[in-house]
């Protein structure tokens, strides 16, 4: 398990934790008067998509219409892939070839 995201609100953290598949753990941390909630879980593309992270929903929509891309969609695809490559490296997960 790895730290997937941090939340300021317990309800948001609980909602996010409920979306995850596989092992998960929610841990609170107090810093002065603030409490943050760290969500740990399995770093998979499915879990990141369920948490609506890294523009994966937008990537999915783009890929569904790949044959009709214009210049704007190509640029946006490259931008999202740039982020996805960093995530892939940080969490040691493979980018599906059909995303490239």
Per-residue pLDDT reduced to its tens digit, 44-85: 999 999 999 999 999 999 999 999 999 999 999 999 999 999
Q: What are the boundaries of each domain within the chain? A: 1-42, 54-100
What's the whole-model pTM score? 0.91
pLDDT of residue 88: 98
Contact 16, 48 (CB under 8 A): no
Cα(94)–Cα(22) distance, rounded to whole angstroms?
18
Q: How far is CA 38 from the centre of its chain?
A: 14
Cα(52)–Cα(62) distance, rounded to whole angstroms?
15
> If pLDDT is split at 50, 70 and 90, which confidence band does 19 have?
very high
Cβ-proximal residues to 69 (8 Å cutoff; 6+ apart), any chain: 62, 77
Largest CA distance in the chain: 52
List, for residues 82-98, the tens digit of each pLDDT value.
999 999 999 999 999 99
Cβ-proximal residues to 83 (8 Å cutoff; 6+ apart), any chain: 54, 55
């Amino acid at each position: 398990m790895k730290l997937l995201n941090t939340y300021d609100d317990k309800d948001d953290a609980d909602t996010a934790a409920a979306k995850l598949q596989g092992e998960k753990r929610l841990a609170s941390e107090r810093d002065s008067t603030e409490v943050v909630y760290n969500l740990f879980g399995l770093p998979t593309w499915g879990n990141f998509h369920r948490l609506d992270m890294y523009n994966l929903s937008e990537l999915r929509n783009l890929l569904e219409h790949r044959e009709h891309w214009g210049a704007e969609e190509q640029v946006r695809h490259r931008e999202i892939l740039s982020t996805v490559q960093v995530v892939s490296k940080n969490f040691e997960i493979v980018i599906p070839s059909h995303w490239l």
